[in-house]
Structure 1
């Protein structure tokens, strides 16, 4: 664990850092958080975003946040590692937001819920990608996909110059595809998570229909 945290988090450091300490506390309480090797900031993927736990500087305080690409919401803090572990488990297991708030008084979900309910993460992600010069090469493809009402509701990101569309902004395991423009109006599509999937060439006039079909609920 970082030297500046040794004094405030001696119990955590003694167990090998924040990740291993959370593993051990979870085990003692009958939970399984999986393997958490991170000695500092812990990240745990859930169907409601990546839960982040970060030790504060200057005082003993564990900071909780929910992260998706380009967006992080602080949702509370506490000095009790046991409460942190219980909160992470409850969030991962899908405890309803109202019940989560009641069970963990240190949590503050207002900003997170307001943003998710309004669709802001997805809309903001589109706006940022379509206005950032770094992604200028992807603008024609982004505009083509964004023009489709259904695809506009999917969460966009850029992965190795390809546009990734995900059905659920928070759930990295939800249905998603990669769309790449190899040359002007020459597209290839990859269905993420489909066994045996390969990059498939798609004619320009069929692109949005093809992507919608891959993303639709089975």
Structure 2
């Protein structure tokens, strides 16, 4: 079951019973939530991220998933950024070793802040709205630097 927005899969599964497929479609279209759907149809699988979208908290869910990843070297960076009230509402994801904080995960042109580790505990921070790059930022200043891209209305300045 795919999202109408973006390229997001809400749930998936397989069965050899056509009747089950029809019932899943009917239940989904009538608004049955993911957990009850899986209770009725155990072949349905979905992710924590799908639950986050369903409950209207995708950014909070994404932060939780990233911070729970023990293999991620950047836990201190993530914790520092999440503690900032402006940044914690953004949708975090990694792409090509760059942390991206998106305004809207489904609209690429909505704007984002990119944070790239430079080594030795330093980072470069870039806003997609104006392309400005602030480089050689220490971890202690990272959240303040990233939030400096916002204007007084709380929008990424252009």
**TM-score class, shorter:** 0.5 to 0.7
Matched residue SS, 2:124: strand
TM-score (normalizing by structure 2):
0.59
Larger radius of gyration: 1
2:38 counterpart residue number? none
Q: Helix, strand or coil: the match of 2:105?
A: coil
What does 1:89-100 align with in structure 2 at a 5 Å threshold? none
Greater strand proportion: 1
1:108 maps to what in 2?
29
In structure 1, runs of 5+ residues without a counterpart are 1-62, 75-104
Aligned 1:1-218 pairs, distance under 5 A: 64-66=2-4, 72-73=9-10, 108=29, 110=31, 111=33, 115-116=52-53, 118-134=55-71, 136-195=72-131, 197-198=132-133, 200-215=135-150, 216-217=154-155, 218=157
Q: Structure 1 pair 204/130, CA: closer, same or farther in 2 (3 Å)?
A: closer
Q: In the comparison of the two structures, how many residue pairs are matched? A: 122
Rounded to whole Å, the distance in 2 between the matches of 1:109 and 1:208 is 42
Is there any run of 5+ residues in structure 2 with no aligned partner, and where? 12-25, 35-50
